[in-house]
């Protein structure tokens, strides 16, 4: 018996050895050191932000379509093809793949089942971008996805969109197991690639899935796409990626959900005269045949698919080493290299600031930032930020301060995502606002460290808080947290609510808990969730724990209660799980104050569509602050908060030091709410502005204007009071109130510019802006950042409302530019946008042609933008019509096209032209311009008649393909109804007020 047992053991060992050798041979086969092998060296976000990144509709499979590579057949390429460096699979015949061609109906969910979970993508990709016709560009790739089975199953479900699958096989990672050839099915609606196996995949086991594929290099700004720039008469191509939010599946079969993190090992094959970039550092380059080079990149950290990135181009880099020993590189076109110095210096400082702020070192040895010719916004890919060239373009004496501020803000925003978005990511797109809202606010905190003289923390109120309040005052708004169940739902999350309101809520939370607790709470969250995912409750819990450690509690105004730590989740849920926000009404009661809250709505008669319900009955936990004419305290903190509770009960404050003077709530507008008062207090505030406006903080002066006008629009305050808040502006010396007034006056101009009282309104405003213009003058020599911005702002508004001195200055300056024979622009860089706009507005064809030529020939990104935007100011219908046709072609970059449409729509002559173009070419527009939900509010902003309203409703009802723009049209309908009501209620009041002016 013992001999038999020993014999059986010997046989088993022999069998195991045979299988082991077979497995090793298979591994050696896939790891062999041929130059074009992909299996050995591997390496592997995001807003705006709609999708700001690409078109979901363009991602459908074509079931039977002949292409330059062969035939599509449910996404599969059916004919093997030789490449320029050898056969696609290095001499191997493609493994037979069985497939079905019937789309699979898997219900309504767009989520993956995740029975298997990837931990490594070993990707090789080779773009073919060398044909004469860009429509023939394509790429080939192969990927090994190592994954672990979480639940036993007979199928692997992952994403693939518009990819031609040429070969698939599955290899169990345990020794001695046979290769599995799956059957392929496609769900073309959900963009699922389904690999069905007859052999069960066992929970706890690991598998390698080998997929070979190819696909087109597209012209849409999503997935792997190509853009161009001109070098003399030559067209130079750039291939780049935009994976967020769900376009990685256009480039590689993958588990394309933000929570599914893995490492990526990338090999990029390119021609020798080009360079490639990816998320991580390049470990080596191998020369192949026919001038091909294979660049191998180190493994990335665990990260989401939407952060995968690569670029193939001929750019140059400017390199610096940060104080923390990180290589920071800026990549630009060779001709734009001299424009990258500021960004290079700025980026290293901001990166170092974030390392200190988050108390967490940068995780990669390098950070690349590349400015490409055509891109929608910017994208925070880990280790390789990609953004449009103009967002990196700054040259002293050639670029304005407002553009410098824009460049600073964009890079600060994107770099913050390294920690908040990349290292810790949203578990699903319904918490996108955590990423984008936090980055939108913290960018200003970083700017305050780098350029504190700009007062960025005050500027944030005007730039982000007040626009968010305007947007969120509509019945068609939505909560910050909204369950997302469709691609259109994902697209719709990239909006003002996620970015501006999200950031405003974080700013308010920082005020509630204090700067130190806020910062330490974020550090705690990052440590607890590093390389993982989070939801909003995780954020609240981290701040709750930190608040307890720091001893934060409800303050002295809640003395009647026992000590109670801050209920961060209870507070923040009222701001994130219901839409809109409150108005606090503040009034005297004897020697004290009474506070009450109510829901703010622009139109209280608007019909609630019932899309969202409030779990709190539209009551909020409000951190209220105030000061009085007696106290004048505009430097308050968390200890000064008066809590108004979500039960909606009024709050009484006894013995307030106010006397008979004014009082004002929401100090520095830290809270996301409006404040209203009895009319006598409004009058006292206005009198204070007229007597000595400097007594009130500049942010609160801006808030007075913003709140008064918004409350007047909603019918909660007399329009006469709102108008009176403008009467002191001729004495104002701060940017912030002028900015706030400018936004409100844009609305008034939209409503009244076609009426008989617009001339009187313009005369009043021209008179208002004349004194500060006289004080500031036209010379920027020796001025600081804020003074330059103020001069530009005042000059722009003066020209807009017909100040003849300003108009003459602009026309003469532009004529000097047109006749100048040198290469130096004689117009002050801070005044160019005003001069260009006014010259085109009051000029003719010659001026317009000169500006358009400047757009096509200038090498400076900021200058190109100034010229092309000035072209939108012409009052000539023929020129505008021709211009609008141009933006539907490649003569104007797509990234510029939407902004051009937006600006032409603000032109009273151009507005009906844009509306006509939009409604008669919708299918073309929604394909070419992917963020139309941002454009629609601008196009319809001037609509204030019953005919206008009917026009929007008719189009919405007749158009089945609105996609993510549906909510934008709902908002347009609601806003137009409010505009009609505003005209009915306020036209005569404004007319009478204008007649009372001296």
Tokens matching residue 87: 């056969």
For residue 955, how many other CB atoms are within 10 A of its CB?
17
Q: Is residue 162 classed as helix, strand or coil in its secondary structure? A: coil
Dihedral (C-alpha) 70, 72, 76, 81: value to the nearest 10 degrees?
10
10 Å CB burial of residue 787 (0-12, 13-18, 19+) is: middle
Catalytic annotation on 414?
yes
The Cα–Cα gap between 200 and 391 comes to: 51
- In sequence order, the β-bridge partners of residue 643 are 623
- Find the helix or strand (DSSP H, E) in which 295 lies: strand 292-297
Name the active-site residue from 212, 220, 380, 414.
Answer: 414
The beta-strand segments (E) located in 600-668 are: 622-624, 626-628, 642-644, 651-653, 663-665
The Cα–Cα gap between 232 and 5 comes to: 82
Residue 612 contacts residue 478 (beta carbons within 8 Å): yes
Residue 328 contacts residue 414 (beta carbons within 8 Å): no
- Of 721, 736, 639, which Cα lies nearest the Cα of 687? 721
Tokens matching residue 461: 């109120």
The Cα–Cα gap between 162 and 193 comes to: 11
The beta-strand segments (E) located in 272-414 are: 275-278, 282-287, 292-297, 310-313, 316-321, 327-332, 366-372, 378-379, 384-388
Residue 523 contacts residue 505 (beta carbons within 8 Å): no
- Of 493, 465, 463, which Cα lies nearest the Cα of 478? 493
Binding residues: 413, 417, 436
Tokens matching residue 365: 């040895």
Q: Is residue 443 classed as helix, strand or coil in its secondary structure? A: helix
Radius of gyration of the chain (CA): 30
Tokens matching residue 449: 């460290």
Binding residues for Zn(2+): 413, 417, 436
SS3 for 849-908, per residue? HHHHHHHHHCCCHHHHHHHHHHHHHCCCHHHHHHHHHHCCCCCCCHHHHHHHHHHHHHCC
Residue 422 contacts residue 258 (beta carbons within 8 Å): no
Active site residues: 414
């Amino acid at each position: 018996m013992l001999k038999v047992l020993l014999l059986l053991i010997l046989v088993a060992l022999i069998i195991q050895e045979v299988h082991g050798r077979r497995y090793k041979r298979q591994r050696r086969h896939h790891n062999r050191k041929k130059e074009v092998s992909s299996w050995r060296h591997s390496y592997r976000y995001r807003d705006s932000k709609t999708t700001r990144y690409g078109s979901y509709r363009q991602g459908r499979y074509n079931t039977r379509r002949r292409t330059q590579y062969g035939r599509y057949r449910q996404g599969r390429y059916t004919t093997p093809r030789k490449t320029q460096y050898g056969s696609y699979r290095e001499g191997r015949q493609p493994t037979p793949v069985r497939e079905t061609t019937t789309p699979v109906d898997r219900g309504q969910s767009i989520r993956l089942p995740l029975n298997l979970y990837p931990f490594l993508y070993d990707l090789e990709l080779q773009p073919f971008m060398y044909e004469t016709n860009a429509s023939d560009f394509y790429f080939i790739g192969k990927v090994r996805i190592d994954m672990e089975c979480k639940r036993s199953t007979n199928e692997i479900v992952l994403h693939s969109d518009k990819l031609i699958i040429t070969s698939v096989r599955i290899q169990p990672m345990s020794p001695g197991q046979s290769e599995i050839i799956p059957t392929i099915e496609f769900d073309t609606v959900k963009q699922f690639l389904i690999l069905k196996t007859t052999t069960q995949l066992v929970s706890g086991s690991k598998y390698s899935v080998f997929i070979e594929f190819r696909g087109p290099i597209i012209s849409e700004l999503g997935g792997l796409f190509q853009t161009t720039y001109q070098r003399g008469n030559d067209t130079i191509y750039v291939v780049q990626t935009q994976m967020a939010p769900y376009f990685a599946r256009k480039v590689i079969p993958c588990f394309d959900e933000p929570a599914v993190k893995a490492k990526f090992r990338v090999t990029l094959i390119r021609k020798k005269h080009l360079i490639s970039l990816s998320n991580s550092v390049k470990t080596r380059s191998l020369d192949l045949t026919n001038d091909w080079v294979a660049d191998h990149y180190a493994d990335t950290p665990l990260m989401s698919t939407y952060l995968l990135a690569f670029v193939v181009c001929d750019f140059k880099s400017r390199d610096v080493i940060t104080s923390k020993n990180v290589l920071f590189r800026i990549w630009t076109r060779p001709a734009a290299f001299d424009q990258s110095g500021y960004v290079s210096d700025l980026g290293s400082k901001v990166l170092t600031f974030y390392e200190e702020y988050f108390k967490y070192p940068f995780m990669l040895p390098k950070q690349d930032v590349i400015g490409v010719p055509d891109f929608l916004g910017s994208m925070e890919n880990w280790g390789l930020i990609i953004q449009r060239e103009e967002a990196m373009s700054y040259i002293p004496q050639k670029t304005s301060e407002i553009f410098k501020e824009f460049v600073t803000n964009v890079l600060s925003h994107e770099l913050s995502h390294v920690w908040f978005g990349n290292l810790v990511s949203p578990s699903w797109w319904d918490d996108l606002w955590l990423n984008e809202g936090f980055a939108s606010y913290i960018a200003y905190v970083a700017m305050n460290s780098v350029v504190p003289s700009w007062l960025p923390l005050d500027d944030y109120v005007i730039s982000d808080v007040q626009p968010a309040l305007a947007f969120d005052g509509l019945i068609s708004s939505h909560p910050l947290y909204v369950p997302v169940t469709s691609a259109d739902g994902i697209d719709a999350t990239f909006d003002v609510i996620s970015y501006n309101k999200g950031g405003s809520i974080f700013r308010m939370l920082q005020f509630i808990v204090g700067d130190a607790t806020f910062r330490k709470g974020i550090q705690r969250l990052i440590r607890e969730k590093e390389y993982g995912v989070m939801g909003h409750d995780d954020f609240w819990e981290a701040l709750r724990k930190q608040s307890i450690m720091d001893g934060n509690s409800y303050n002295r105004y809640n003395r009647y209660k026992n000590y109670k730590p801050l209920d961060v989740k209870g507070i923040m849920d009222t701001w994130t799980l219901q839409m809109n926000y409150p108005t606090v009404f503040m009034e005297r009661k004897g020697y004290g104050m009474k506070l009450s809250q109510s829901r703010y709505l622009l139109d209280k008669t608007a019909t609630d569509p019932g899309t969202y319900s409030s779990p709190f009955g539209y009551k909020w936990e409000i951190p209220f602050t105030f000061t009085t004419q007696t106290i004048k305290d505009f430097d308050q903190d968390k200890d000064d908060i008066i809590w108004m509770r979500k039960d909606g009960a009024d709050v009484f404050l006894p013995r307030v030091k106010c006397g008979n003077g004014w009082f004002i709530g929401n100090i520095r507008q830290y809270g996301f709410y409006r404040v209203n008062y009895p009319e006598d207090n409004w009058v006292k505030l206005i009198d204070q502005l007229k007597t000595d406006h400097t007594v009130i903080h500049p942010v609160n002066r801006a808030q007075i204007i913003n709140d008064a006008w918004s409350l007047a629009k909603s019918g909660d305050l007399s329009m006469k009071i709102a108008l009176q808040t403008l009467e002191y502006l001729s004495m104002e010396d701060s940017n912030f109130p002028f900015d706030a007034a400018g936004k409100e006056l844009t609305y008034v101009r939209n409503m009244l510019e076609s009426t008989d009282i617009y001339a009187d309104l313009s005369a009043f405003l021209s008179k208002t802006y004349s004194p500060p213009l006289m004080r500031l003058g036209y010379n920027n020599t020796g001025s600081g950042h804020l003074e330059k911005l103020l001069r530009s702002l005042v000059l722009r508004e003066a020209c807009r409302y017909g100040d003849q001195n300003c108009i003459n200055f602009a026309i003469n300056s532009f004529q000097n530019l047109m006749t100048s024979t040198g290469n130096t622009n004689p117009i002050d860089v801070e005044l160019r946008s005003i001069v260009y706009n006014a010259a085109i507005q009051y000029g003719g064809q010659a001026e317009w042609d000169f500006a358009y030529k400047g757009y096509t020939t200038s090498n400076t990104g900021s200058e190109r933008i100034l010229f092309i935007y000035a072209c939108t100011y012409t009052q000539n219908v023929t020129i505008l019509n021709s211009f609008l046709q141009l933006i539907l072609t490649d003569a104007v970059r797509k990234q510029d096209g939407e902004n051009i449409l937006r600006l032409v729509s603000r032109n009273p002559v151009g507005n009906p032209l844009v509306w006509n173009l939009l409604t008669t070419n919708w299918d073309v527009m929604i394909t070419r311009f992917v963020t139309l939900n941002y454009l629609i509010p601008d196009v319809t902003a001037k609509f204030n008649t019953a005919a206008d309203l009917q026009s929007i409703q008719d189009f919405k009802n007749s158009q089945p393909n609105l996609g993510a723009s549906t909510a934008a049209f709902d908002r347009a309908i609601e806003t137009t109804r409010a505009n009609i009501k505003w005209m009915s209620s306020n036209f005569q009041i404004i007319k009478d007020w204008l007649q009372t002016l001296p």
